[in-house]
Structure 1
Amino acid sequence: MKERVFIVSLGCAKNQVDSEKLAGAMTSKGFGFAEDFESADIILVNTCAFIGPAVKESIDVILHLEELKGLGKVKKIGVLGCLLNRYGDDLKREFPTVDIWARSEEWEHVLSCLGVNDTSFSPCSRGFIPETTTWSRYLKITEGCNNCCSYCTIPSIRGHLRSRPVDEILEEAENLVLQGAKEICLVGQDLTAYGMDWDGSSHLVELLDLLEKHVPDGMWIRPLYLHPMRVNEKFLERIASYKNVLRYLDIPIQHVDDEILSCMNRNVTESDLRRIFSYARKIDPDFALRTTIIVGFPGEDNVKFKKVLRFLEDMEIDRVGAFLYSPEEGTKAAGIKKQVSDEVKRKRLDMLMELQADISLSRQERFLGRRLKVIVEERNYEDCVLGRSFREAPEVDGVIAIKGVKDVPCGDFLNVRINAVTEHDMEAEVVVDEG
């Protein structure tokens, strides 16, 4: 039997997909997988380098792996992915004891370094890592990005947009269903750009049409990461027409002020953002709307910041992820002179999250006494199980605690009634329909 491997996957869901693909390739070549560091012969870390804190986390893990190797607790260590993409040979010189170096998606090279002669494997094969849940899986439909937002390192780290072939995506979706998936979350740096590298047009709707027909009835399809410049009324109406595609819109706006948006190279205006979010609410007041905000972008003053607060309030955004602006080396925004102090950034972030807590609570209260379909995420948790509805994406949103239920398999669907809410989470009970 070949040596036992442990894969550490850092960063985003797109990285998790890459790690699962590597695990699938290694499984097909006879490698076994350890449950923890201590029982592994080989430890591979798939790194993240999107922003400074992610770089620090990746480096800390590498230092720990070097320590384990130095103590003889692991035979080989490997550093893969975005950190090497970003820093190249400079990184290699800093960590001379690393055995395997591979850029993102260079999984054949990893296999070759481990003595595998035939390094071919199916691009649709997916294995399992500790973060994997069989019932809820991520499916990456694009790699790289052409948007070139002024604050973002992704184009320089992951390259230009590459859309995956439709047949390959459908085959991978089918494989995930066979592995037990009940929910497929579509990921990419910008899903709305799918197919634009082919002919300049977005083909996301056509892909959703095919997935809708291809997956079993009742399965959930959750699109994540929709750039607002290609979200329009027609697209929103299409989303609302599907049976399997959830009414959950993850549209990162990053800011609202027109001057800031222009400086970010976002190619939208506040008017555009208000139009699409208002239309989503008009189509269905229950649409789950999630966005992200960068606080303290260069040139942001109090007036510009308060526009963001008004927008969140007016549009009744369900969920918000807010982040302090980080000036990243090599980005255009890092060279802007009007940088905002860290103290001001933190104060604004606190103000935003305090307001958003009230907005989120108000949105949650809409569902008191109502029924929701929930997928079970965790069982044997005190006297209840934990789950999510169409309104909660895995990992980033809240959960629903379903009281009085035990030993329901993860991945099962339950119909529940909401009895209590907080700004993030809910409590519910199972509803049994008579007859």
Structure 2
Amino acid sequence: MRFHIITLGCPKNTVDSEMMAELLRRAGHVQVDQPRRADVLIVNTCGFIAPAREESYAALRKLAVGKRRGQRLVAAGCLAQRYGEAIRQKVPEVDALIGTQSWPEIVTLFERLEAQEPAQAPCILSPGGNLVASVPRRAILGATAYLKIADGCDAACAFCAIPLIKGPQRSKPLADVLREAKELAAQGVRELVLIAQDTTAYGRDRSETDALAHLLQALSREVPELEWLRILYAYPQHVTPRLIEVMAGLPQVCHYLDLPLQHGHPDVLRRMNRPHRV
């Protein structure tokens, strides 16, 4: 089938969409650049905050209005994971749901769409899926690329729905990260942007110490074509002296950490139920 993907939300969704597209292409499906040419329309949604949810509903409604006979509409991602029933009520034209924890099963969802009547509405929202499944990479942003090294979160911040949507932190194995980096570098990528819900917690779910520092060293050694390594979504409670030492010593690593603004005030952190003494 021909498919078209619209991606909303953060860079992690961008990577998930890219990987879903690759899985579908490898299964014989064809990606098209215009919704009207597609048999299946996929919206990879964001469900983190109210404006993002409304943007996702609006994108689904817009596609629903223009659906032609036989065309299917799939809601994927965070909004589908947590608000699947609300999607069915607000946009009844949606034919299938696949959650952010289940994106590696996109080919299975397509098989169900081909085999079933639209009224049966396939739904794959299983918790505990492989958030960090590794798929062969394509460079779609020119000389820069996002590389998701982990997903999910173990924190219990007072305001945040991410653990409810994505579940606990899961780190991508080092071998998979290196393989993806090499694939991207071979296609001309020179800046690699490492992303996760908390990049500085990389490896903690596997009881590894200073795993991010080790990862940076491995990338520098194994993928010398990379000129810039940038780290996003860092949190100070997991920044160690070893990480700072490695970052300072590797010329490829951009010498700053992307930290949320609220980490500048302990009272704000206390109200957010985040560690406020680090």
Q: TM-score range by the shorter chain?
A: 0.7 to 0.9
Change (3 A) 1:38 1:55: same
Question: Residue in 1 aligned with 2:32?
Answer: 34
| Partner AA of 2:254 in structure 1 | L
The 3-state SS of whatever aligns with 2:160 is: coil
Distance 1:34 1:179, change over 3 A: same
Residue 185 of structure 1 corresponds to which residue in structure 2?
Answer: 193
Residue identity matched to 1:94: K
Q: Give the aligned partner of residue 248 of structure 2.
A: 240
Q: Confirm or deny: 8 A CA contact 1:228 1:268 kept in the other structure.
A: no
- 1:152: which partner in 2? 160
**Structure 1 CA distance for aligned equivalents of residues 226 and 203 of structure 2:** 27
User: What value does the CA root-mean-square deviation take over the aligned residues?
Assistant: 2.2
Partner residue of 1:164 out of 169, 172, 180 = 172
Q: Does 1:203 align with 2:191?
A: no
Q: Which residue identity is paired with 1:243?
A: P
Question: Could you tell which deviates more after superposition, 152-161 or 194-203?
Answer: 194-203
Deviates more, 1:254-263 or 1:153-162: 254-263
Residue by residue over 1:334-380, the C-alpha shift from the partner in whole angstroms, topping out at 9 and shown as x without a partner, is: xxxxxxxxxxxxxxxxxxxxxxxxxxxxxxxxxxxxxxxxxxxxxxx
Partner SS state of residue 250, structure 1: coil
Q: Matched residues in 2 for 1:134 and 1:100: separation?
A: 32
SS of match in other structure, 2:156: coil
Structure 2 counterpart of 1:87: 83
Measured after TM superposition, the shift of residue 229 of structure 1 is 1.2
Shift, 1:246, TM fit: 1.8
Matched-pair contact (CA < 8 Å) for 2:152–2:197: yes
Of 49, 52, 55, which residue of structure 2 is paired with 1:51? 49
Q: Distance in 1 between matches of 2:58 and 2:25?
A: 28
Question: Structure 2 CA distance, aligned partners of 1:203 and 1:108?
Answer: 25
Aligned residues with identical type, % of pairs: 36
Tell me the residue number matched to 2:134. Answer: 123
Deviation for aligned residue 1:232: 4.2
Q: CA deviation at 1:54?
A: 0.3
Structure-2 residue corresponding to 1:428: none
Superposed, which structure 2 residues align to 1:213-362 within 5 Å? 213-217=221-225, 219-269=227-277, 272=278
Contact persistence 1:192–1:231 (CA under 8 A): yes
Q: Aligned partners of 1:150 and 1:174: how far apart in 2?
A: 39
Could you say what secondary structure the match of 1:249 adopts?
coil
* Whole-angstrom distance in 2 between the partners of 1:74 and 1:135: 38
Q: Deviations over 1:16-67 (max 9, x none)?
A: 0000000110111122221222332321000001111000000000111111
Q: Distance in 2 between matches of 1:233 and 1:140?
A: 23
- Structure 1 unaligned segments of length 5 or more: list them: 273-435
1:105 CA drift (Å): 4.3
Aligned to 1:293: none
Question: Where is the helix percentage greater, Structure 1 or Structure 2?
Answer: 2
Point out which structure has higher relative CO (alpha carbons under 8 A, 6+ apart): 2
Select 1:9's aligned residue among 7, 10, 19. 7
The verdict on how the C-alpha distance between 1:27 and 1:180 changes in structure 2, with shifts beyond 3 A counting, is farther
1:65-144 mapped onto 2 (5 Å cutoff): 65-69=63-67, 72=68, 75-115=71-111, 123-127=134-138, 132-144=140-152
Whole-Å separation in 2 of the counterparts to 1:7 and 1:187: 21
Q: CA deviation at 1:143?
A: 0.9
- Offset of residue 265 of structure 1: 2.1
State the 1:73 CA deviation.
7.3
Moved more, 11-20 or 96-105: 96-105
TM-score normalized by the length of structure 2: 0.85
Amino acid at match of 2:57: I
* Alignment length (residue pairs): 259
